[in-house]
Amino acid sequence: MYNSVEDLIQHPVFYFFSEISKIPRGSGNEKAISDYLVQFAKERHLEVIQDAALNVIIKKPASPGYEHVPTLVIQGHMDMVCEKNQGTVHDFEKDPIQLRIVEDMLYATDTTLGADNGVAVAYALALLDAEDIPHPALEVVITTEEETTMGGALAVDPANFEGKILINIDSEEDHKLLVSSAGGIKTTQILPIVWEEAPKNTMAYSLSVKGLKGGHSGMSIHKGRGNSNKIMGRILAGLADDVPYFLQQINGGAATNAIPRETDAVILAAENSIEKLEAKIQEWNTILQNELKTSDPGVHISLHKVEPEVTNVFSEQTKQKAITSLLLIPNGIQTMSMDIEGLVESSTNLGVVTTTDTELLLESDARSAVKSLKEDIVRRASLVAETLGCSFKTENDYPEWPYNPDSKIRKVFEKVHREKYNKDAEIIAVHAGIECGIFIDKIPGLDAISIGPDMYNVHTPNEHLSIPSTINNWEYFLSVLMEMKSFDWKE
């Protein structure tokens, strides 16, 4: 067991993980980390390409004796989801991630860790840096904006690659081989706000939904965790039945691919209705703590007076449209796979709600392993917008990754796992967006697989990475590289 981060970074993988953790790399803020990767390659006299999307491709020739082995593409993404606990002082634009060890797990300090997908970057750099690890010719590609738009992978020029075998290192479960994933698309409903002057003799209150666990909107959608944006819609609708109020803003969630943990609204109510309002909030606490006692026992609804004075509010029609939108926009699991027991086939997550000076934006992340089902989710979401007189847009559409029954790289991983651990690796598919689908779409005949160590609660400030699993998965990865030399690639 490692007792300190200083001890841990003696291992090459964790050394590079620590180095990149010093560099802010939230999605859309990847220039510094991209430049770091370029400089890393130049210092080692490796061929490097940095494209307009800030993707970085680093190439390294085959080790002696590996010249006949097919070129291998190793892939991950450099960006991370930036989430922090409320009250945490951390600027993701400039502050390093503060690493800490708890037992055999690596955590950040009240922020996301960035193991998703810093692990891939660390593995790649450790491999490229080493002089004593045998390997085939390597084409390492580290992409940008995977967590938001998949824009980096979508912008990759396939002409920069010779390899037809891809190992993606963006999986989150050791001893499991990921061979298929869902496609996805971002949808946004745009509700124009009609403002009115705030009525006199009212008090403004901040209404908050907090204490939810959240999680990755693909990997955790089956866990039944509460969505703070949807919960806020229920509360606002319920209050409207009993306590007259005016609505001034709603803001919740940090990313469309994260189940929102916190949502805040500002409401105005008559001064003589505060006791009734507080009683209704307590009722909602009881209701939600009962509903979510297993998935989110920490859920809590709070009400606090707002200072300074609020001067404008939504019109009654805007308020009703906002509440209706929160209630009716599709959310959660839509269909389950009939082929793989327990696998979510299609889902959608109302991840971000934002109030601007002119609009209320409601952003969702739809996923499906079946293209037609993804299109159905989008159609239903667009009908909600159309019915309410809102505009609607889609973006960041990326393809699913279909299972390849004849994958040769899967056979190599299976053989090595059987020999190394005396048991078969588990073959899995996930309900999450993996860049493999984009690369397969760009490079005809590409044979892909995804691996990774055990990590937990990604996209939340409780994200943590298993240290022994990271080391084990690294050693398994190196054993596969060695096996590639003797494998019959022509069979």
Q: CATH number for the domain including 444?
A: 3.40.630.10
The per-residue pLDDT for range 80-99, each reduced to its tens digit, is 999 998 899 999 999 999 99
The per-residue pLDDT for range 116-165, each reduced to its tens digit, is 999 999 999 999 999 999 999 999 999 999 998 899 999 999 999 999 99
Domain limit, last residue, from 347, 372, 398: 398
User: Would the pLDDT of 415 be above 90?
Assistant: yes
Question: Do the domain assignments include residue 299?
Answer: yes
Domain limit, last residue, from 398, 422, 454: 398
| Distance, first Cα to last Cα, the chain | 43
User: Would the pLDDT of 328 be above 80?
Assistant: yes
Burial tier of 198 (Cβ tally within 10 Å: 0-12, 13-18, 19+): middle
Same domain, 202 and 316: yes
Same domain, 124 and 46: yes
Beta strands at 447-450 and 165-168: parallel, antiparallel or unpaired: parallel
Same domain, 192 and 217: yes
The domain that holds 266 is classified in CATH as 3.30.70.360
- C-beta atoms surrounding 197 within 10 Å: 8
Catalytic residue among 30, 145, 146, 147: 146
Same domain, 197 and 128: no
- Cα–Cα distance for residue pair 56/74, rounded to 1 Å: 12
Domain of 110, in residue numbers: 5-171+434-483
Question: Do the domain assignments include residue 179?
Answer: no
The per-residue pLDDT for range 225-271, each reduced to its tens digit, is 999 999 999 999 999 988 999 999 999 998 898 999 999 999 999 98
Same domain, 34 and 135: yes
CB neighbour list of residue 60: distance below 8 Å, 6 or more residues apart: 46, 47, 128, 135, 137, 138, 140
Tell me if 451 sits within 8 A of 177, measured CB to CB. yes
User: Would the pLDDT of 453 be above 80?
Assistant: yes
Would you say how long the chain is, in residues? 491
Q: What does the buried/exposed string (b/e) look like for 199-237 if buried means 16 or more CB atoms within 10 Å of the residue's CB?
A: eeebbbbbbbbebbbbbbbbbbbeeebbbbbbbbbbbbe
Same domain, 306 and 446: no
Question: Do the domain assignments include residue 321?
Answer: yes
User: Would the pLDDT of 112 be above 80?
Assistant: yes
DSSP state letters, 76-97: EE--B---B-TT----TTTPPP
User: Would the pLDDT of 31 be above 90?
Assistant: yes
- Cα–Cα distance for residue pair 214/202, rounded to 1 Å: 34
Encoded amino acid at 160, one letter: N
Q: For the chain, give the mean pLDDT.
A: 96
| Average pLDDT score over residue span 18-45 | 98
Same domain, 159 and 202: no
Same domain, 389 and 444: no
User: Would the pLDDT of 222 be above 90?
Assistant: yes
Question: Do the domain assignments include residue 489?
Answer: no
Catalytic residue among 30, 79, 145, 365: 79
Same domain, 66 and 157: yes
Same domain, 198 and 165: no
Q: Give Cα separations from 12 to 7, 56, 126, 131 (angstroms).
A: 11, 21, 6, 12
Site of tokens 């494209």: 51
Q: Where does residue 259 fall: left (phi above 0), alpha (psi -120 to 50 degrees), or beta otherwise?
A: beta
Question: Do the domain assignments include residue 350?
Answer: yes
Question: Do the domain assignments include residue 86?
Answer: yes
Site of tokens 């945490």: 88
User: What was the pLDDT predicted at 271?
Assistant: 87
Q: Is 79 a catalytic residue?
A: yes
CB neighbour list of residue 401: distance below 8 Å, 6 or more residues apart: 180, 181, 182, 183, 434, 436, 437, 440, 448
Which of 77-86, 119-128, 339-348, 402-411 ranks highest by mean pLDDT? 119-128
Closest listed residue to residue 353, CA positions, set 432, 265, 269: 265
User: What was the pLDDT predicted at 396?
Assistant: 87
Question: Do the domain assignments include residue 417?
Answer: no
User: Would the pLDDT of 1 be above 90?
Assistant: no
User: Would the pLDDT of 60 be above 80?
Assistant: yes
- pLDDT confidence band for 3 (50 / 70 / 90): confident
Domain limit, last residue, from 373, 398, 423: 398
User: What was the pLDDT predicted at 308?
Assistant: 77
**pTM listed for this prediction:** 0.76
pLDDT over 70, % of the chain: 100
User: Would the pLDDT of 432 be above 90?
Assistant: no
Same domain, 370 and 461: no
Same domain, 359 and 228: yes
Q: What is the DSSP letter of 131?
A: S
Q: Count of domains in the chain?
A: 2
Least confident among 31-40, 144-153, 337-346, 471-480: 337-346
Question: Do the domain assignments include residue 413?
Answer: no
